[in-house]
Structure 1
Amino acid sequence: MIYNLLIALAFLGLSSCAVTQWKATRETTEAEAAYPPSGDFLEVGGQRLHYVEAGSGPPLVLIHGASGNLRDWTFDAVERLSDDYRVIAFDRPGLGYTPPLGDDGATIFEQAELLSEGARRLGAERPLVLGQSYGGAVALAWAVNHPDRISALVLLAAASQTWETDLPTYYKITSGPLGPLANPAISAWAPEGVVQDAIAEIFAPQPVPEGYATHIGAPLTLRPESIRANALQRAGLKEEIRAMVPRYGDIDVPVEILHGSADTTVGLQIHSVPLDEQIRDARLTVLPGVGHMPQHVAIPEVDAAIDRAARRAGLR
């Protein structure tokens, strides 16, 4: 329903391109003024990389999911975990304040290369890596492609397997030839209610934590460039995972997998149940009744999994 409304808005906007482009530019300017960069910047191979860092101890890298940014982690996780870890959270390419990697999106493998090299340049040679949702696929790509740059892996509601359904129409439009016209229209005309409904949907069946919707900086995701980058990443994800699945057996670090039984975004049975069998040193924790955002609604279980992974890897 939410995506159908955004598609309708996209085509409505196409009929008034000049006004739409003006309004999209204004919305982008206002979004960046309201949610400026909250961390520092690092250059990796000519690519600017935005990150936040806090605490001391074993290094812990946090990778956010689709349609988000590192503010998902600064809502409370960075401060909380910094008591025991040196926490580093990155904006993935095209989202937050890390620019896109070229015009064709960024594969999970390219993102893993960028983030792992960024961590290395920050002195985190072999961090514990945590990824949520799409970020979990990037974390898995990090583990299979850069085994010398990781000590342990924690996966939260991670996309890890292929699935039967086709790419949704919304992503076909926003990643396709009509994207350069449709994306500014979505940016310009998407009502606030649609954004709030999307956030509520991703948290269901749990409520959205108080203050989260204000903190996350959703307007940053509605910038045309970010809509495009996110859509391209989503469009390529299934085939990238298909290429990665045969390599899961090569992962040779401790792996903690957490997944809610009520997750309707990334299904437990489709993704984490088979992944638990594919990685020999994996341990799956099923979170009864929990949806797609365990980092916010199952905090004790997530923190315990991080600590287990750190101990198993000899980091604590």
Structure 2
Amino acid sequence: MHVLDIANPAANRGQRWRNAGLLSAATLAAAYLFVRVQSARTEHAHPPAGSFVDVDGLRLHYIEQGDGPALVLLHGNLVTADDFRCSGLIERLAQHYRVIAIDRPGFGYSDRPRDVSWTPDAQATLLHQALRRLGAGAYLLLAHSWGTLVALAMALQEPERVQGMLLLSGYYYPGPRLDVPVAAMPAIPLLGDLMRHTISPLLGRLMWPLTAKGMFSPGAVPDSFRREPPWMQLRPSQIRATASEAALMIPGAAVLEGRYGGLRVPVTLMAGEDDRVIDPHGHSERLQQTLPDSELVLLPGLGHMLPHLAQEEIVAAINQVAERAGLSVPARLDGAAPHPGEAM
């Protein structure tokens, strides 16, 4: 027990600083242990839903279902490929397509080595390699939010393999984002490592209801999204990926925007007209005016998370993209979604 010396104010101040330091260290240690235990429990309760493919020692997790033309699904920031499964979109699309939903690097159960800057182009190169290993020579792309930048990079890199694209709620042009500096902090070396193993997951869990509300605003958060455990998105590994992509979003769009005019594949751009995360007019509508073979669908009254909100429109739009690409998409007469390996 320490007793303050009223005759020595300097010593008292030093003791208070030491006490504050010990309390802070104990608090961070407790937070670290809680985050570690909670992350392990969540992974145990929610093991990988799909399979893995190895590309040069990097392991990517993917969910595959259905038969037919290959359709690759790319998720946005914060969420994982499992978001497409929880929303029910994979099951619906698998009635007509061989659906491959991939956890992009660092998300879900996919690796994200720290010695690579995972720009849209870097991810596109990796995913092309992974899809070759999965026997997908050519494919349609359906991408949401941050994933649309990766889809565009894929089409620009190997246009002969990308047969058409449906881009949902995308961010395509660089511009000021007030949320980026805060969101990117856990990606800062050392300080970010400390944050993502201690306070960032706790703050993220506290803010999760507000975060989800903003993603779905002006509508309510649906039950399909509530089925996804928040702690899967708040594990330290995924917080690093989420923060890194917040930092890469503006420069990623800046690198790509000058190349958009060279795209020649059929593209449909879809966005919620009331999206409060990404302005549909400044991004989707603007990009549609640039692409030579593109269509624009703005959905009134809907927000950012279209995979949960507009499945009928998404299925119809990807079928139209496939038709414009010259693909034959037979309908399932029984309405059932085929499972991997089941013939149509």
TM-score if structure 1 supplies the norm length? 0.91
Q: Answer whether contact 2:205 2:234 (CA < 8 A) is retained.
A: no
Q: What is the rounded CA distance, in whole Å, between the counterparts of 2:194 and 2:53 in structure 1?
A: 32
Moved more, 203-212 or 98-107: 98-107
Q: What is the rounded CA distance, in whole Å, between the counterparts of 2:258 and 2:74 in structure 1?
A: 23
RMSD: 1.8
Q: Answer whether contact 1:186 1:222 (CA < 8 A) is retained.
A: no
2:183 to 167, 171, 178: 171
Q: Could you tell me which amino acid in structure 2 is paired with residue 313 of structure 1?
A: A
1:68 to 72, 79, 83: 79
Matching residue of 1:87: 99
Q: What is the rounded CA distance, in whole Å, between the counterparts of 1:31 and 1:73 in structure 2?
A: 19
* Match runs of 1:291-310 below 5 Å: 291-310=303-322
Cα offset, 1:41, TM superposition: 0.4
Number of aligned residue pairs: give it: 304
Q: Answer whether contact 1:49 1:91 (CA < 8 A) is retained.
A: yes
Q: Answer whether contact 2:204 2:234 (CA < 8 A) is retained.
A: no
2:61 to 36, 50, 53: 50
1:107 to 96, 119, 125: 119
Matching residue of 2:254: 242
Q: Answer whether contact 1:40 1:50 (CA < 8 A) is retained.
A: yes
Q: Structure 1, residues 141-178: CA drift from partner, whole Å, max 9, x if none?
A: 11112212211011000111111235533224212131
Cα offset, 1:91, TM superposition: 0.4
Cα offset, 1:301, TM superposition: 1.2
Q: Could you tell me which amino acid in structure 1 is paired with residue 285 of structure 2?
A: V
Q: Could you tell me which amino acid in structure 1 is paired with residue 149 of structure 2?
A: A
Asked if 1:313 is matched to 2:325, the reply is yes
Cα offset, 1:279, TM superposition: 0.8
Q: What is the rounded CA distance, in whole Å, between the counterparts of 2:178 and 2:213 in structure 1?
A: 24
Structure 1 stretches of at least 4 aligned residues deviating more than 4 Å after TM superposition = 12-15
Matching residue of 1:40: 51
Cα offset, 1:304, TM superposition: 0.9
Q: Could you tell me which amino acid in structure 2 is paired with residue 66 of structure 1?
A: N
Q: Answer whether contact 1:136 1:158 (CA < 8 A) is retained.
A: yes
Matching residue of 1:264: 276
Asked if 1:204 is matched to 2:220, the reply is no
Structure 1: state its 5+ residue gaps.
1-11
Q: Could you tell me which amino acid in structure 1 is paired with residue 108 of structure 2?
A: G
* Match runs of 1:132-151 below 5 Å: 132-151=144-163
Matching residue of 2:167: 155
